[in-house]
């Protein structure tokens, strides 16, 4: 009788402890209660305020929203742990880097039924082949944006950025790897596996371009619209945003290929509100919400249900309708190892001030 009683008490204790663990372990996805606040860290001007306001009203969660200008800035702040962000929006190759460094939690897709709206083409991406850590948000390309008012003939090559007629009118992206990708493609090298000599060769080429450069700017839309800049090594989404204000803006992929990329939604290991983050992701993937985001910033949208209800003018914005043979030339960006990354960053900073 005593053995039975002891066994029963132990069983009750185990069940109680398991229940406590489930209630407090957000990493396990056991806590189904929404938090009071959700800490979101995203690129600037990437989600309209109305989308955030509507989420707050519907779910009673305050969205504490802050922004960054580059993936590098995002990674530095996530690694510092100063703020326990619940949701961040890294670009593709940063997802792999963050996962490899144990900075991300696996996502519980049971809490994201709207994931079914993501087109099959955007599943099993090379940076997250098992769909463990990331959910597609928007995609696009690195290519050449230009203002047809000042440049009458469409650019065809990265080499066009070096045209002396464009002195002081060229914009370049501000991330070293993206600039390096452009330089290595131009030189005919493997952008994801350059040698140290090829990196030096590339940034020597950048020094020749600097006299043409107005600024290194991740969001060149305003400068293209105003005519302050004529041509940019930039994102297709930035070109499309500029085009909404000035239909002289266009975007091309160069003959060397260009780069295809995807921005994603991930949950850092430091998140204390995992279930709420997954609820927010599911909300973002609603067709009408995703459509609203595309109307605000017309990047490529992987949400097939949202595409069905998008206005035609957004579907036809620059950078979204390339022929298949052009798209196939575009390359996915992959991070370099630590040693070459350090070399690349140093050469980039040195070249910018030439």
Three-class DSSP labels, the chain: CHHHHHHHHHHHHHHHHHHHHHHHCHHHCCCCCCCCEEEEEEECCCCCHHHHHHHHHHHCCEEEEEEECCHHHHHHHHHHCCCCCCEECCEHHHHHHHHHCCCECCCCHHHCHHHHHECHHHCCCCCCCCCCCCEEEEEEEEEEEEECCCCCCCCCCHHHHHCHHHCCCEEECCCHHHHHHHHHHHHCCCCCCCCHHHHHHHHHHHHHHHHHEEEECCCCHHHHHHCCCCEEEEEHHHHHHHHHHCCCEEEECCCCCCEEEEEEEECECCCCCHHHHHHHHHHHCCHHHHHHHHHHCCCECCEHHHHCCCCHHHHCCCCCCCCHHHHHHCEECCCCCHHHHHHHHHHHHHHHCC
Could you give the C-alpha distances from 156 to 140, 146, 232, 248, 289, in angstroms and in order? 18, 11, 13, 17, 36
Give the CATH superfamily of 140-261+322-352. Periplasmic binding protein-like II (3.40.190.10)
Residue (of 69, 34, 84) closest to 55 by Cα position: 34
Could you give the C-alpha distances from 267 to 3, 26, 39, 58, 315, in angstroms and in order? 46, 11, 10, 22, 30
Q: Is the separation of the CB atoms in 75 and 121 below 8 Å?
A: no
Examine the pLDDT at 9 and tell me if it is beyond 70.
no
Quickly tell me which residue has 């070459």 as its tokens.
340
What are phi and psi for residue 145, nearest 5 degrees? -95, 145
Tell me the per-residue pLDDT of 252-278, one tens digit each, with 9 for 90 and over: 999 999 999 999 999 999 999 999 999
**Would you tell me how many other CB atoms lie within 10 Å of the CB of residue 149?**
11
Distance between CA 2 and CA 4 in Å, rounded?
5
Examine the pLDDT at 285 and tell me if it is beyond 50.
yes
- pLDDT score at 229: 97
- pLDDT score at 315: 82
Residue (of 120, 112, 209, 195) closest to 159 by Cα position: 209
Distance between CA 336 and CA 13 in Å, rounded?
50
Band (pLDDT 50/70/90 cuts) for residue 16 is very low
Residue (of 309, 209, 263) closest to 90 by Cα position: 263
Q: What is the pTM of this model?
A: 0.77
Residue (of 250, 93, 20, 62) closest to 156 by Cα position: 250
What are phi and psi for residue 219, nearest 5 degrees? -125, 80
Looking at the DSSP assignment, which residues form a beta bridge with residue 104?
A: 268
Q: Tell me the average pLDDT of the chain.
A: 90
Quickly tell me which residue has 């593709």 as its tokens.
92
Quickly tell me which residue has 């309708």 as its tokens.
321
- pLDDT score at 28: 40
Residues in contact with 346: Cβ distance below 8 Å, sequence separation at least 6, in sequence order:
none
- pLDDT score at 29: 42
| Residue 121 CA from chain centroid, whole number | 17
Examine the pLDDT at 193 and tell me if it is beyond 90.
yes
Least confident stretch, 119-128, 136-145, 283-292, 318-327? 318-327
Q: Is the separation of the CB atoms in 293 and 47 below 8 Å?
A: yes
Give whichever of 18-27, 82-91, 232-241 has the largest mean pLDDT.
Answer: 82-91
Q: CATH 3.40.190.10: which residues of the chain?
A: 7-139+262-314, 140-261+322-352
* The CATH fold of domain 7-139+262-314: D-Maltodextrin-Binding Protein; domain 2 (3.40.190)
């Amino acid at each position: 009788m005593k053995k039975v009683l002891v066994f029963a008490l132990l069983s009750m204790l185990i069940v109680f402890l398991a229940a406590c663990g489930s209630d407090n372990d957000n990493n396990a996805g056991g806590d189904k209660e929404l938090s009071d606040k959700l800490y979101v860290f995203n690129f600037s001007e990437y989600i309209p305020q109305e989308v955030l306001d509507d989420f707050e009203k519907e779910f009673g969660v305050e969205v504490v929203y802050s922004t960054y200008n580059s993936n590098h800035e995002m990674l530095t702040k996530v690694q510092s742990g100063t703020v326990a962000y619940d949701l961040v929006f890294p670009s593709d190759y940063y997802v792999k880097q963050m996962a490899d460094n144990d900075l991300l939690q696996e996502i519980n897709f049971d809490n994201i039924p709207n994931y079914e709206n993501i087109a099959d083409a955007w599943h099993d991406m090379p940076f997250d082949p098992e769909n463990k850590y990331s959910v597609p948000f928007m995609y696009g390309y690195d290519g050449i944006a230009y203002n047809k008012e000042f440049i009458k003939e469409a650019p065809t090559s990265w080499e066009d950025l070096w045209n002396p007629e464009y002195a002081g009118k060229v914009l370049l992206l501000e991330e070293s790897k993206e600039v390096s990708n452009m330089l290595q493609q131009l030189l005919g090298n493997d952008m994801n596996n350059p040698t140290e000599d090829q990196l030096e060769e590339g940034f020597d080429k950048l020094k020749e371009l600097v006299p043409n450069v107005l600024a290194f700017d991740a969001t060149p839309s305003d400068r293209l619209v105003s005519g302050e800049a004529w041509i940019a090594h930039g994102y297709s989404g930035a070109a499309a945003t500029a085009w909404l204000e000035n239909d002289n803006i266009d975007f091309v992929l160069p003959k060397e290929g260009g780069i295809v990329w995807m921005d994603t939604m991930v949950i850092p290991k430091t998140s204390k509100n995992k279930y709420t983050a997954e609820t927010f992701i599911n909300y973002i993937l609603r067709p009408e919400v995703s459509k609203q985001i595309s109307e605000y910033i017309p990047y490529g949208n992987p949400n097939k249900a949202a595409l069905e209800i998008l206005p035609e003018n957004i579907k036809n914005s620059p950078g979204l309708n390339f022929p298949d043979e052009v798209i196939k030339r575009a390359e996915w960006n992959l991070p370099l190892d630590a040693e070459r990354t350090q070399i690349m960053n140093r050469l980039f900073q040195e070249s910018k001030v030439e």
